[in-house]
Amino acid sequence: MTNQEYEAACVTAAKVYDRFEGQHKLRQIDEHIAQVEKTLVSLQEMCREIVNQYNLNKCEHDFDYNPKDMRGQCVKCGVQKQ
């Protein structure tokens, strides 16, 4: 084996190792992302439960009345009072 062949073999081996190492790192990152996504889904579910438990998604209307027709409109959500 000549010196050039040896160098070429070393470069090829290094590229294969680098590729393997890169794939391994990507796999680890993908696993971490999957775990974070599961945690995010769990936290979003907890948030929805709190909103529902304390009726935080319901508007406590604050009507502002129009003097012309005395029909009010909520300044928070925009619903019209009949």
From first to last of its 82 residues, what are the pLDDT tens digits of the chain? 788 887 887 777 777 777 788 889 999 999 999 999 999 999 999 999 999 898 888 777 777 777 666 677 777 777 777 6
With vertex at residue 53, the alpha carbon angle to CA 52 and CA 58, rounded to the nearest 5 degrees, is 50
- pTM, to two decimals: 0.57
Q: What residues does each domain of the chain span?
A: 3-74
Spatial distance between the Cα atoms of 7 and 68, rounded to a whole number of angstroms: 91
The tens digit of pLDDT for each residue in 39-60 reads 999 999 999 999 989 888 877 7
